[in-house]
Structure 1
Amino acid sequence: MSSNNYVEAQMLIRKPVEDVFEAFINPEVTTNFWFTKSTGKLEVGKTITWEWEMYNVKSDVQVHEIIPNQLIKTEWGDPAVHVDYEFRVMEKGTLVVIKSYGFSQTGKDLLKVINDNTGGFTTVLDGCKAYLEHGINLRLIEDKFPQK
């Protein structure tokens, strides 16, 4: 990794790796537990826009590398950071590890962004687990920062 400062969140999802990998590549699945809109499926060399309509927020996601059922390497955010999604076959399912690194902040600002990333990606993984294992959209992202 290009930085000593990184965030890691992980979760075992009790589904085959193909299903879990597809959940992060294909917005038709991902919109059930993370962002609300996407300009397309993740593909190497493309820039995809993800949108969270309830917060009126968009982010351009650059896709740097994809190894099917193993790894997705992206860069996104403002300021942009690297976010890698690793998929590991386990006896009981698929371990998803999300690593975020390349932060430009320092001091208290770095602590805040690390905290936000850790909490955010943990919420994404929790939502993914609920959706893939039980078919439930817990609306975690929408309810994390309720508007009113």
Structure 2
Amino acid sequence: MEQLRFDQFTKKIYIKAPLQKLYWCWATKAGIETWFLRKAVYTASDGDTRKPDDFIQSGDTYTWEWHNWDGQEKGTILQANGKDFLDFSFANDVCKVSVKLEEKERATLLTLKQYDMPTDEETKMNIYNGCSCGWTFWLANLKAYLEHGIVLNETEFDLTDIPQAGHVYVNM
């Protein structure tokens, strides 16, 4: 068994949905706002804002906002091949995340890898632990959305004033 490393982690999930639908869910404003974000803005390298169903492109920048968190996540799309792979900077450009999609027998295998993370104690807690837990939930949320038409993330109750809400609530 491979030794635990704090500079990366991988999460995998089978989702019974067409690969193209999964890519749309990740690579468009309209898609990512259905299961993951309250608001996403993608800006092309020429400064134009992408339309809701436009696919992101390598070199685009993004600004993401979640339900129940007042902050913003900003980063750059490093790779987007238009069909089954994307890679982006994450956590204020501290690390990177890749999403790979593979058609399997009756489902699509999604593999998310967060990597190039610093290994200081603060990063281990906030990025490794926080993001590893967070992605586990969000990938399950994507599965619930695509297979059952529901989302599990909290949109009804405002948790923004609870200091450790992101570490306590499982459906942030």
Match runs of 1:1-148 below 5 Å = 5-40=7-42, 41-78=55-92, 80-106=94-120, 108-112=121-125, 113-139=127-153, 146-147=159-160
Amino acid aligned to 2:90: W
* 8 Å Cα contact 1:7-1:117 kept in structure 2: no
Q: TM-score scaled by structure 1? A: 0.85
**Structure of higher CA gyration radius:** 2
- Following the alignment from structure 1 to structure 2, what is the Cα–Cα distance between the partners of residues 14 and 51? 27
Measured after TM superposition, the shift of residue 48 of structure 1 is 1.2
- Following the alignment from structure 2 to structure 1, what is the Cα–Cα distance between the partners of residues 14 and 87? 19
Runs of 4+ residues over 3 Å off in structure 1: 145-148
Structure 2: where are the runs of 5+ without partners?
Answer: 43-54, 163-172
CA deviations on 1:5-62 (whole Å, 9 max, x unpaired) are: 2111111110110011110011212112211101135221110111125211111120
- For CA contacts below 8 A with separation 6 or more, give which structure has more relative contact order: 1
Structure 1: where are the runs of 5+ without partners?
Answer: none
- Following the alignment from structure 1 to structure 2, what is the Cα–Cα distance between the partners of residues 79 and 58? 13
- Following the alignment from structure 2 to structure 1, what is the Cα–Cα distance between the partners of residues 66 and 93? 17
In terms of fraction of residues, the more strand-rich structure is 1
- Following the alignment from structure 1 to structure 2, what is the Cα–Cα distance between the partners of residues 85 and 10? 10
In terms of fraction of residues, the more helix-rich structure is 1
How large is the Cα RMSD of the aligned pairs?
2.2
- Following the alignment from structure 1 to structure 2, what is the Cα–Cα distance between the partners of residues 17 and 53? 26
